[in-house]
Structure 1
């Protein structure tokens, strides 16, 4: 992936280092020419930043699986001297722990990580500005960080942390789009993100909300089933409370929902019956979902047989399937017929 257009990282003559993609450096707005050895030293110092990298560590990075030559220490010092000449005499410090970058050095990956908390702070009073900041931060990421270091464990660790933080930032962007009443954009972005990570429950939850706000409630309800299957495939778990709450909001119910699709699993009907009984305990409400023919009526019959705390009233609403008040009318008629 190409690097974004070059813009000055810093002002006032300070050094700046980019490590998303091949390592580059600048000073006073001018990009510097860095041979391979100097890039490796900067990459190792960036991983250690704001701490130090020992001479032994830098020697390992420079020669990797090779046996360092007898002149390795002198070669390392030469790399450091040339970097100081380019970045500034105090750009690389030396102490008991080894070499380190000056704390004032602007390193793009660490700058991004320091600014992440600003997003939530800004969102509290200006969601539009928060979205702008998210886009600014994501715009600095052109490629995975520190390719020069390959599978070096320290570099892999930093990449893993940054990848997780960037995933959270992209989810935050989708959430901001929903909040700013741009649900269609959010839907497209969330669908793309879920292709990469279909087990991300927070993104499924946001997708349900975005589809509903885009006027696509039926699609949102179907998406809940997609989410459920994805979570079972990825982790072997059912949707958590937040995703189930999002489904209940779509259904307009305040009580728990029980998915009748579970009834098609071996011995699953008893599990669903127990879930329904638990849901309606103490006056709760359960909504049993599933396509025709999956066994919802059988599950309800089993619930009725097991219900010992009161009467069970069954109402058929097939005569008026399109009326929202059809079930209410039928229920009232049955109750009226029971009066003395």
Structure 2
């Protein structure tokens, strides 16, 4: 028996932010990226909350890979302010932090109902529709994925105007993050027909529109399609799970502080090779994931006369996309400590990551180390 649950109500399209006008006479706790304050985007939120009818408090002490300390500070401010709802606007870090703040505030202070509305300003994390929140323990250099249905936002607002000014590098990083979400969900152990349909559509949209959004940020159609693809990929992996691409990226990100989407892009071809069971040019005894990778290649109209050729075609198309976005293929350009001991430590952390549980094959420590060895 499979459980298909679509919890978050999504508002998408032109003027989607106007949904906020529905919240009259509410005390609103706003969690926002610092950029949202500096660029004055926060006024887009405040203006729709109807001055004079609402009270709000803004928490903007958000940093990439939100640490435990940020979450604790936010929980304390929620307790003092006593809001009726939480609105979070920004990238994945702001949304993840807000989800964790709401979760712990509700449990510690016994809030019966504290709705969370997520307004993403990047097209990649899918956090606005998932039951995941990634929190970092800075003292240990470890990322902890929190997973609970109660972390799902009640509503998500996808307003394309908010992503028009996203810089090219962030467009690339977040776009490749969304692609990784969709591809990992497609071969995850909990994949089903519903998650596959969303993943397939997200993958199509990303290959079609990510280069356009990257090269012309003012292309409203490309921005809208990428925003929707990101959310589709989020729904897909929330249902199906992820895999070792994300497990390794979480572990590497905590150590190297390289953007998460960029890490996913670097890892994706190597992880596909591993999951498919492709070794050199010996294409015998392929893993079942190879058939699904080959189907994606066919969908993208790439050569795929058999599963091995299809998988290799998919990998080449990802590498071509990655290169066209000006992204690195390995860690050679980074000044990081990359000893064998570090690789072993990353592998150990990746194996303990909850995303590994739904990878199509269960890796050993040496498998992760071998993947990492090919990246420098």
TM-score normalised over the length of structure 2: 0.28
Larger radius of gyration: 1
Higher relative contact order (CA 8 A, sep 6+): 2
